[in-house]
């Protein structure tokens, strides 16, 4: 069964607008972490933001914020004021706690295209 | 260096040959991952090492694939009798034990089987 689901293979957004990239996850482990990475065409994996399962507030890092809805098992990434350089592949990832062996697994990714 | 180092960066091999891909994790990182990424696709989990525990090999696609991690540091991913469908970028990542720290990725090895 899929543990990380990203349902949007591709997304378009106008420059300077906000965009939400969806991510849902499945785990029975009470302790887990959620991550978002960006992969530009150069291929490097760039860490963006982290949310812990016990964190009460949504994580924010500059223009990135994570909309964490624990009951819905949702961890959407919101990018505000999109820039052309945001065009890339975005991956959601989850690291489970003890019961999951602390393994990190990734979703299939969403390719974001920012239009000028 | 301070980051995750992978070698070679590119490898072209003939179908049927064996290949070895190397990963040098960040010093002190107990966790080491191998992923495979086909062109334009997501990251396919292959294998995971955590400290001295038995590795999680649940993602290895066939018995042609194997990996070792010597001394809790350097790891080698071996693909025997390569097939054209093995062509992909192989990414290695490492992380410390703390669950709230991201995985750090190497630049990958691009494997092409001809």
Confidence (pLDDT) at B35: 96
- State whether A108 and B95 contact (CB < 8 Å): no
Chain B contact set for A44 (CB, 8 A):
105, 107
Instruction: Return phi, psi of residue A99, to 5°.
Output: -70, -25
Short-list A55, A2, A56, CA closest to A33: A55
Q: Is B84 helix (H, G, I), strand (E, B) or coil?
A: helix
- State whether B35 and A106 contact (CB < 8 Å): yes
Q: Which of residues B1 and B17 earns the better pLDDT score?
A: B17
Which of A35, A52, A97 faces B102 most closely, judged by CB atoms? A35
C-alpha span between A41 and A88 (Å, rounded): 7
Q: Which of residues A46 and B1 earns the better pLDDT score?
A: A46
Question: Which residue in B has a C-alpha nearest to residue A108's C-alpha?
Answer: B42
Confidence (pLDDT) at B93: 96
A-B C-beta contacts closer than 8 Å: 58
Tens of pLDDT, residues B35-74: 999 988 889 999 999 888 889 999 999 999 999 998 879 9
Residue B106, CA distances (Å) to A51, A74, A79, B15 in order? 23, 28, 25, 25
- Residues of A engaging B, defined by a Cβ cutoff of 8 Å: 31-33, 35, 37, 43-45, 47, 50, 52, 91, 93, 95, 97, 101-109, 111
Confidence (pLDDT) at A81: 96
C-alpha span between A88 and A34 (Å, rounded): 19
- State whether A44 and B105 contact (CB < 8 Å): yes
Confidence (pLDDT) at A1: 55
Instruction: With a cut of 70, list the residues of chain A below it in pLDDT.
Output: 1-2
Chain B contact set for A91 (CB, 8 A):
42-43
Residue B5, CA distances (Å) to B14, B25, B39 in order? 25, 6, 21
Tens of pLDDT, residues B67-108: 999 887 999 999 999 999 999 999 999 998 766 788 999 999
Confidence (pLDDT) at A2: 62
């Amino acid at each position: 069964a899929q543990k990380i689901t990203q349902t949007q293979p591709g997304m378009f957004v106008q420059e300077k607008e906000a965009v939400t990239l969806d991510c849902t996850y499945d785990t029975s482990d009470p302790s887990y972490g959620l991550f978002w990475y960006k992969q530009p065409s150069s291929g490097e994996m760039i860490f963006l933001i982290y949310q812990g399962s016990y964190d009460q507030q949504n994580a924010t890092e500059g223009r990135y914020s994570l909309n964490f809805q624990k009951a819905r098992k949702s961890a959407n990434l919101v990018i505000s004021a999109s820039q052309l350089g945001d065009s890339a592949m975005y991956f959601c990832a989850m690291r489970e706690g003890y019961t999951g062996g602390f393994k990190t697994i990734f979703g299939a990714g969403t390719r974001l295209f920012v239009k000028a | 260096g301070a980051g995750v180092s992978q070698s070679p960066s590119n490898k072209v091999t003939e179908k049927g040959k064996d290949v070895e891909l190397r990963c040098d994790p960040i010093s002190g990182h107990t966790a080491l991952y191998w992923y495979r990424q086909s062109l334009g696709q997501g990251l396919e989990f292959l294998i995971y090492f955590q400290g001295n525990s038995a590795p999680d090999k649940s993602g290895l696609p066939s018995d042609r694939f194997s990996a070792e991690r010597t001394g809790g540091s350097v790891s080698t991913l071996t693909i025997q009798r390569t097939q054209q469908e093995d062509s992909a970028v192989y990414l290695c990542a490492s992380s410390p034990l703390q669950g709230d720290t991201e995985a750090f990725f190497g630049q990958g090895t691009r494997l092409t089987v001809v």
